[in-house]
Amino acid sequence: MEKHYPVLRKCVLFRNIEDMNYEHLLQCLGTQVRKYKEEEYVFFAGDVINHIGIVLSGVVEIMKENLAGNKHILAFIEPSGMFAEGIVCTAKRISPVTVQVKEDAEILFIPYERIIMSCGNVCGFHISLIQNMMIILGEKNFNLNRKLELLTLKGMREKIASFLINESLERKSNTFHIILNRTQMADYLNVSRTSMCRELARMKEEGLIDYYGHSFKILDMDELAQCLE
Amino acid sequence: MEKHYPVLRKCVLFRNIEDMNYEHLLQCLGTQVRKYKEEEYVFFAGDVINHIGIVLSGVVEIMKENLAGNKHILAFIEPSGMFAEGIVCTAKRISPVTVQVKEDAEILFIPYERIIMSCGNVCGFHISLIQNMMIILGEKNFNLNRKLELLTLKGMREKIASFLINESLERKSNTFHIILNRTQMADYLNVSRTSMCRELARMKEEGLIDYYGHSFKILDMDELAQCLE
DNA sequence: AAAAAAATGTAGCTGTGGCTACAAATTAAA
DNA sequence: TTTAATTTGTAGCCACAGCTACATTTTTTT
């Protein structure tokens, strides 16, 4: 377990709990670790969830799948990232999303009750945990809002532009690689792959962007930003 | 102020704080009340927000407005409802949404710091406040997810069906009134009003639903649910 | 009650983007 | 390498939804 301490240290839930004895902390919280193989499901939409998950290694995918089989990717969670933190705070704790492992993963589970309740012992970190939980929920909200923004855009070009500009901002460079392949990117933008490819080709032809495989380059940022207005 | 106590009592933030002396509570939290006229803006997307708002009377609208002027309604908040609770929990506290008053309103503002910090005095309600804040954020998350679900639907009929089924479930009846008018409903579904009206007419013709003004009636729930698959 | 304003419904035209089908290229397996 | 499988790109067709324009109804104002 010790090998995962650096990952935990980066986890937002444990922020401002520097002087920590992790052994004691984890025990007090009643945590459990489980290993998953690629493609394995952690839980499904509709399941009742009582634990928060922290990815120690590997990658998990958060997604929605409707009855028609259309899949929509909400996020990829990498080591030190969390999931299910929004679900456990609701009244019914029914997950609206499905979580699937994309690369062999180890996941740390923490019972929600242990986070919001004080443990009875004199553990000073509970207040910090609670405040961190709030920040996490706030940020989650913020990200959902960004996602909403993307989905409310009307045109294909607007969606692509918004996506690429955001990626570029996050990497702080006009040249960047994306993790997603075309199918995943289309899922993320909630459009059909073929239409997206067509529009990407047009934008390349017009000299707005350039790309090859997963590498993208924004050639005319001003013009690209114009697409959003 | 006393006249608003019943409204506060219904507010989720004050749940499980029954034995409360509101006078003391509100003072300890450093609350302020402001009155707004219809159409007046409470704050704009991009503003930095440090207060949570609770609607005491009237109605406010939460929305996004892009540069092209397309407006997208996220929610209507009625008395005892809250807003900005998601924003204040984030790191930057920059609002992604604009809040506008739709019916003359009185709004109670609470500085975020006063909620998450203990006040130094022996006020037992702080822990409850914090736990309530978490539930609120969780529910907010849940609603955003529902909204996302709606927006990821492809067809007009699917969106309408999803919306109507949800309304029906909430009212627990196949006959119900909606608060939104056609334009607002179209905004909410992120479609054009005319196309929505056309599809509504078709669905009525096919005997799926019936409606007049703001009253709706689901005639064939099975068939309607079928639209989502 | 009359007039004005706002909300709702309808029709026709058009463009975007989804879909099928296939080609080309890249990656993985034999 | 050859073969198979997966990913990516292209083309054509067509339906759906957006838009403009206007008719009709309902609500508000005078």
Note whether B73 and B124 are same-domain residues: yes
- Judged by a CB distance cut-off of 8 A, whether residue A17 touches chain B is no
| Integer CA distances (angstroms), A205 to A102, A201, B56, in order | 34, 6, 55
Mean pLDDT is lowest, of A42-51, A70-79, B186-195, for A70-79
Look at residues A127, A150, A173 and tell me which one is the last residue of a structural domain. A150
A128 vs B51: CA distance, rounded Å: 21
Q: CATH number for the domain including B141?
A: 2.60.120.10
Note whether B164 and B85 are same-domain residues: no
CB proximity A118–strand C (7 Å threshold): no
- Judged by a CB distance cut-off of 8 A, whether residue B149 touches chain A is yes
Give the domain range for residue B164.
153-226
CB proximity A173–strand C (7 Å threshold): no
Contact assignment for B147 to A147 by CB distance below 8 Å: no
Q: What percentage of chain A exceeds 70 in pLDDT? A: 92
Note whether B117 and B163 are same-domain residues: no
| 3 state SS of A111 | strand
Note whether A123 and A214 are same-domain residues: no
Nearest C-alpha neighbor of A63 from the set B162, B150, B145, B160: B145
State how many domains chain A has. Answer: 2
Which of A:110-129 have CB within 8 Å of B?
116
Note whether A84 and A167 are same-domain residues: no
Note whether B105 and B11 are same-domain residues: yes
Among B67, B87, B138, whose Cβ lies nearest the Cβ of A89? B138
Provide the pLDDT for residue A63.
85
Model confidence over A8-24: pLDDT tens digits? 988 988 888 766 678 88
Note whether A222 and A109 are same-domain residues: no
Note whether B123 and B160 are same-domain residues: no
Which of A:159-198 have CB within 8 Å of B?
190
Model confidence over A104-161: pLDDT tens digits? 899 999 998 888 776 555 566 777 788 788 888 888 888 888 888 888 888 999 999 9
* pLDDT band at residue A69 using 50, 70 and 90 as cut-offs: low
Provide the pLDDT for residue B118.
60
Chain B 59-98 contacts with nucleic strand C (CB below 7 A): none
CB proximity A199–strand C (7 Å threshold): yes
Provide the pLDDT for residue A49.
95
- Judged by a CB distance cut-off of 8 A, whether residue B6 touches chain A is no
Q: CATH number for the domain including B212?
A: 1.10.10.10
| Per-position pLDDT tens, chain B of length 229 | 778 888 998 898 888 876 667 888 888 889 999 999 888 899 998 899 999 999 999 889 888 866 555 567 778 888 999 999 888 888 889 898 899 888 889 999 999 888 877 655 556 677 778 878 888 888 888 888 888 888 888 899 999 999 999 899 888 999 999 989 999 999 999 999 999 999 999 999 999 999 999 999 999 998 888 888 7
Instruction: Give strand D nucleotides closer than 7 A to any protein Cβ.
Output: 7-12, 16-21, 26-27
Look at residues B125, B150, B175 and tell me which one is the last residue of a structural domain. B150
Provide the pLDDT for residue A214.
93
Nearest C-alpha neighbor of A157 from the set A130, A124, A189: A189
* pLDDT band at residue A211 using 50, 70 and 90 as cut-offs: very high
Note whether A180 and A207 are same-domain residues: yes
Note whether B136 and B161 are same-domain residues: no
- The answer to whether B62 and B147 are in contact (CB under 8 A) is no
Note whether A107 and A30 are same-domain residues: yes
Question: Considering only alpha carbons, which residue of chain B is nearest residue A95?
Answer: B142
pLDDT at A75 over 90: no
Nearest C-alpha neighbor of A163 from the set A212, A198, A196, A138: A196
pLDDT at A67 over 60: no
Average pLDDT (A173-201) is: 93
CA distance A111 to chain B (A): 15
B interface mutation test: which of A98, A151, A166 has the most B CBs within 10 A?
Answer: A151
Look at residues B92, B115, B150 and tell me which one is the last residue of a structural domain. B150
